[in-house]
Amino acid sequence: MKLWKRILCFSLLVPTIGFAAEAEIKKALGIAIPGLAFNSIEMSEIDGLYRIETSSGETLFITGDGSFFVTGDLYSTDKGRLQNLTEVRRGSLRAEQISAVSANEKITFPAKGEAKAKVAVFTDIDCGYCRKLHKEVPALNEMGIEVSYLAYPRAGIGSDSYEKFVSAWCSDDKQGAMTLAKNGKSIPAKTCKNPVANQFKLGQEMGVTGTPAIVLEDGRLIPGYLTADKLAKALGVF
């Protein structure tokens, strides 16, 4: 599903603002920060303050006339419980974005027997900790955890890591090619129509800055390497 369709589907779930307030905010930001691109403007949990999700993944909170804004996360202390409301929203959007990626666009290592949990991992073939995590995949699969890889070549589109991921994705045996590449072995160079560039861009939209980046089914993002046991515990499998 294209980004604008994902954003539209998500925006239908959240409150929108009036045209007058939106026009004022857009006008103020257009003058102060020319070229700022954003995906949505909506009411926040604070009266008189609006939330903007930028195309680069930042969240702005701005007054209705566009005169003042702050960046960062919004927290709630309702009933004495600290909650990061901005991260909760990010998680909901991440879950929608991951679910919009079709199964045939991922390189998936399925769970053995009944799947108890699923994770999506933005990965770089040449990343040391990504390779370390890949060695945990057989144990994760045995625990009933499905692992699906999405491409995030940190050096960018056109880099050696990018080309290796394309070759793995275009292989007749994607899982085998991925395992060989992550073990530092050479795989035949191949090219075909592939989702590698789009997945790299998706990771950037979702706030991925390093690899591995593990996305749970509820949209929570776990940056970095975890052992199979620790990841299973985070998933509530054991």
Per-residue model confidence as pLDDT tens digits over 167-186: 999 999 999 999 999 999 99
Whether 127 sits among the annotated catalytic residues: the reply is yes
Which residue has better confidence, 87 or 10?
Answer: 87
In the predicted model, is pLDDT for residue 3 greater than 80?
no
Whether 9 sits among the annotated catalytic residues: the reply is no
**Ordered domains of the chain (ranges, CATH):** 3-96 (3.10.450.70), 104-235 (3.40.30.10)
Could you give phi then psi for residue 70, rounded to 5 degrees? -130, 155
On whether the CB atoms of residues 83 and 50 are closer than 8 A, the answer is: no
Q: In what helix (H) or strand (E) does residue 139 lie, and over which residues does it extend?
A: helix 137-142
Entry pTM: 0.77
What pLDDT score was predicted for residue 10? 37
Q: Of 89, 131, 154, 170, which residue is the catalytic one?
A: 154
Q: Of 51, 90, 94, 124, which residue is the catalytic one?
A: 124
On whether the CB atoms of residues 225 and 122 are closer than 8 A, the answer is: no
Q: Of 51, 89, 130, 170, which residue is the catalytic one?
A: 130
